[in-house]
Amino acid sequence: MSKPRFEVDREEGKLLGVCAGLAKATGVDATIVRVGFVLATVFLHGFPWVPLAYVALALIGHRKARTGARVGIDRTGRAEESRERLRALDLRIQAIESHAASSNSALAREIDALR
């Protein structure tokens, strides 16, 4: 059984992917690793050293291999989903405009009744 090796995980990471990579390598939640870095910076008076270690880990750590086909499918799916959402929003805006601009709307009748 081999140990999981440290890889910088930029997809799951927040800043440089160091904490997400450490979390995967150790099996600990990434939030706990992030909080640990912040607490180490504040309480160990290691302000210049902890961030430097973070950057060093980002530069030294192995890059996580990406699968090109999966990235392409995700982008295509996202683009189609975005187009579909924009079409639906456009139709809703057209319906609102036609309702507000029509002279037969219930609101126009209520306003005329109040006069």
Element holding 7 (H helix, E strand): strand 7-8
62 close to 6: Cβ distance less than 8 angstroms: yes
Confidence band (pLDDT; 50, 70, 90) for 3?
Answer: low
29 close to 37: Cβ distance less than 8 angstroms: no
Cα angle, residue 53 at apex, residues 49 and 59 outer, rounded to 5°: 145
Compute the average pLDDT of residues 83-90.
Answer: 91
Taking only the tens place, the pLDDT of each residue in 27-72 is: 888 888 888 888 887 887 756 777 787 788 888 877 765 554 444 5
| Three-state secondary-structure class, residue 8 | strand
pTM (two decimals): 0.48
